Amino acid sequence: MADPELVRFTLDNGLRVVLAPDPTAPVVGVSVHYDVGFRSEPEGLTGFAHLFEHLMFQGSESLEKLAHFRHVQSSGGTFNGSTHPDYTDYFEVLPSAALERALFLEADRMRAPKLTAENLANQIEVVKEEIRLNVRNRPYGGFPWILLPPVLYSSFANAHDGYGAFEDLEGATLDDCAAFFDTFYSPANAVLTVAGDLEVAGAKELIQKHFGDVPHRPAPPRRSFAEPPPERELVGEHDDPHAPLPALAVGYRMPDPINDVDGYLAHLVLAGVLTDGDGSRLQQRLVHVEPLVVDIGAGAGLFGPFEARDPDTFTITAIHPPDVPRERVLAALDEELEKLAATPPDAQELKKVTARWAAGLHSEHDRLVSRTLALGAFELLYGDASLVYQLADRMAAVTGEAVSAAAKALRPDARAVLVVNPATTEGTDEQ
């Protein structure tokens, strides 16, 4: 599809708005991104940003609990939310005739979510069960996004568990909720995105009608989470009672995702050169030729690319047989990076990676929900939603020399290595 023409404006209360008309299907996507995520959580309240995301679905001062669910689903729509390092998003996808309903629902909870002791206690238990299912009782749970940061980073903001410790979740109070909402959930700290089958003038009127009277509160000063990169190799270990095989996660600091987009893209291409497909460098050597591992992967960003401000993490993960020493896996990894640092990949290898990535990006953005969320996230993080439509061309322009420089920057003396030790005896559930 052609790139939609974006319409961007700001309401008097500070709410930034992005409209992306696309009449190809009678469907509309609505998202609200708030400039707060895991890294903004107060110390002692790990997991609070994610917990608050849950609370935003528990009704408002004008709608009872579950009303949001009922209104969206009765319109034939879907909805959800998610918490990221530096933002939290909420969205609906509905028939375009139901646009006003979605706008009302998002404005309603932006104005006054229902924060009660009952809702808080209920959602604490829901989040704890989510952690049990997704982390504590699952093989390689939290690998590497929870387990690697405390090895690579030293500050609380960058190193802590964004899912949350049970004692922190259980200690959350209604006063904490009110303070978090008042600080971060203001229209001046948010981006509203509407994409799909919309008429611009009519959408503007509806947005003004529903969001225009949400009271203005100043956006909080944006914190810097910067910290120095490692000056030596850092090693940490984790015993996983459910893991059948040993695993490694290697983490490196990346270029600033916001202020060095092209350097960040070079690392994204490097990840593809290393592990994207059976013909990639590490797949060939470590899986097919020697073989040293049963699974290998590389990626830019702990949560995927373009989901965080600086600092962000380049990761390489491997699961290997018990009889393969981790030192051998690391040595092979270092040798392949040294080869790339010395000799840039040729045009054919680059084109294979960038074409596959571009095809995946276009396929993803054919889904209205993915496109809506990407536009909102880029407007929030970069101040420019249109960058979403420049990524494929800018990635295709990454040179072999830039990829070689990225490989050279991934030094053994400035990285973190997380070692996952597998089960030796049958594990027990953590409560």
Burial track 256-268 (b if 16+ CB lie within 10 A, e otherwise): ebbeebebbbbbb
* Residue 237 half-sphere exposure toward CB, CA atoms < 13 A: 6
CA distances from 187 to 49, 184, 233, 312, 341 (A): 17, 9, 43, 27, 46
* In the predicted structure, residue 427 carries a pLDDT above the cut 70: no
The pLDDT, as a whole number, for residue 425 is 45
CA distances from 339 to 204, 398, 408 (A): 54, 18, 9
CA distances from 325 to 204, 243, 337 (A): 61, 17, 19
CA distances from 291 to 324, 329, 335 (A): 9, 10, 15
What's the whole-model pTM score? 0.95
* In the predicted structure, residue 430 carries a pLDDT above the cut 60: no
Mean pLDDT of the chain: 95
The pLDDT, as a whole number, for residue 424 is 77
pLDDT tens string 76-116: 999 999 999 999 999 999 999 999 999 999 999 999 999 99
The pLDDT, as a whole number, for residue 57 is 96
All CATH 3.30.830.10 domain ranges of the chain, comma separated, are 7-211, 234-344+399-421
Structure-block tokens of residue 244: 């059948």
* In the predicted structure, residue 396 carries a pLDDT above the cut 70: yes
The pLDDT, as a whole number, for residue 429 is 43
pLDDT tens string 227-260: 999 999 999 999 999 999 999 999 999 999 999 9
- Does domain 234-344+399-421 correspond to CATH entry 3.30.830.10? yes
- Distance spanning both ends of the chain, measured CA to CA: 49
The 8-class DSSP code of residue 154 comes to -
What is the percent of the chain with per-residue pLDDT over 70, rounded to a whole number?
97
Q: Report the C-alpha dihedral over residues 75, 78, 81, 82, rounded to 10 degrees.
A: -170
Kindly state the average pLDDT of the residues 120-141.
97
pLDDT tens string 7-48: 999 999 999 999 999 999 999 999 999 999 999 999 999 999
Kindly state the average pLDDT of the residues 359-368.
94
The pLDDT, as a whole number, for residue 3 is 58
Q: Supply the CATH classification number for the domain 7-211.
A: 3.30.830.10
DSSP per residue, 348-411? HHHHHHHHHHHHHHHHHHHSHHHHHHHHHHHHHHHS-GGGGGTHHHHHHT--HHHHHHHHHH--
The pLDDT, as a whole number, for residue 61 is 87
The pLDDT, as a whole number, for residue 4 is 66
